[in-house]
Amino acid sequence: MLYRFTYHTEAQTYTQIYLLIAVSCCLGNMLVILALWTTKSIQQPTFCLIASLATADFLVGCVAIPLAVVVDGRVKTSFNMCLFISCVVILFTLVSVLSLLAISLDCFLRVYIPLRYKRIVTQGHSCLVVAACWIVAIPLSFTPMLGWYNHQTLSNSANSTIVCQFIAVIPMSYLVYFSFFSLNLIPLLVMATLYTHVFCIIKGHLREKPGRGAQKLSQNYLRKEKKLAGSLALVFALFVLCWLPLHIMNCIVYFGEVTNIPPIVLYIGIILSHANSAVNPVVYAFKIQKIKRAYLKIWRHIFFSLTCVLYSRITIKQSTFCDI
């Protein structure tokens, strides 16, 4: 009886934290998308890619997190429905990884070919890259539905109905070999290499003695690029820090002798992974000036609108009182 009470208490706490993260993801990333849209920054290739990442993070909050609660062993569904829901949860994470990879490549091109960048990387090209990120992510994340699922769970289910649980339908081999090693680790290593090259190139150019005219402008351009690259590299580093613990736990279960991770530790890993989507808007607000200014402009507009509404209501009440 005590165990059941403890389990339900932990589950309730876990759900409340998830709800808080989901709301933060939705509101924060909606603000990012609105900021980029209203300032027309979304027309610039770099910010178009950031908008794609913000969209994926927004969908994590309004779709993936609620579905993650569903696949936590709380409801009964058909095996195929549970498998489909689990694949949807995987989808937005993969879109985030591909968007981060595209952002790091864009950042590299900005400093590697600065004179040809605007001619080569256009808004049309960035839109194609965004579309490619989403199109490629769909079949890769839905690979388990093509046969790479947990066959033992399906064979043990009665009338193909199971208590829907992520680990019960998605095999650990998929999570480790395909999801982590192939779709996360390799792209993350490529990103780390690209950002390292970016900072090495900028550092090398900034060491040169500044001259006059074009060379001085080049120094200013490189300083701005260094600041932007640092902000985007921070987004990348936070993604790694938030997602690595969960992937390490999966590897420990799959390769090690530990068969079960303590539920509280697993919950912390899952919460940390999804919390990454709520952290990114905060990084944008403090690190990227263009988005920060757009944030302030939106908040000023909201504050001014609320002030006008309150003032009009007070004026109406005063006039009504005078008439009486």
Instruction: Record the pTM.
Output: 0.90
Name the helix (H) or strand (E) containing 213: none
Calculate what percentage of the chain has a pLDDT beyond 70.
90
pLDDT band (50, 70, 90) for residue 301: confident
Q: Which CATH number fits domain 2-318: 1.20.1070.10, 3.10.450.50, 3.20.20.210, 3.40.50.2020?
A: 1.20.1070.10
d(CA 284, CA 304): 23
d(CA 59, CA 279): 14
DSSP sequence for 73-129? EEEEEEHHHHHHHHHHHHHHHHHHHHHHHHHHHHHHHHHHSTTTHHHHS-HHHHHHH
Give 163-181 pLDDT, tens digit per residue.
999 999 999 999 999 999 9
What is the rounded average pLDDT of the residues 91-116? Answer: 94
- For residues 238-265, one letter each, b for 16 or more C-beta atoms within 10 angstroms of the residue's C-beta and e for the rest, the string is bbbebbbbbbebbeebeeeeeeeeeeee
Three-state DSSP at 72 gives: strand
**161: alpha, beta or left? (left if phi > 0; alpha if psi -120 to 50):** beta
Q: How far is CA 181 from CA 81, 124, 188, 235, 257, in A?
A: 26, 31, 10, 20, 20
The closest of 152, 93, 150, 102 to 125, measured between CA atoms, is 102
Ordered by start, the domain boundaries in the chain are 2-318
Give 53-79 pLDDT, tens digit per residue.
999 999 999 999 999 989 988 889 999
pLDDT band (50, 70, 90) for residue 213: very low
Give 236-257 pLDDT, tens digit per residue.
999 999 999 999 999 999 998 6
Encoded tokens for 271: 């919460």
pLDDT band (50, 70, 90) for residue 3: very low
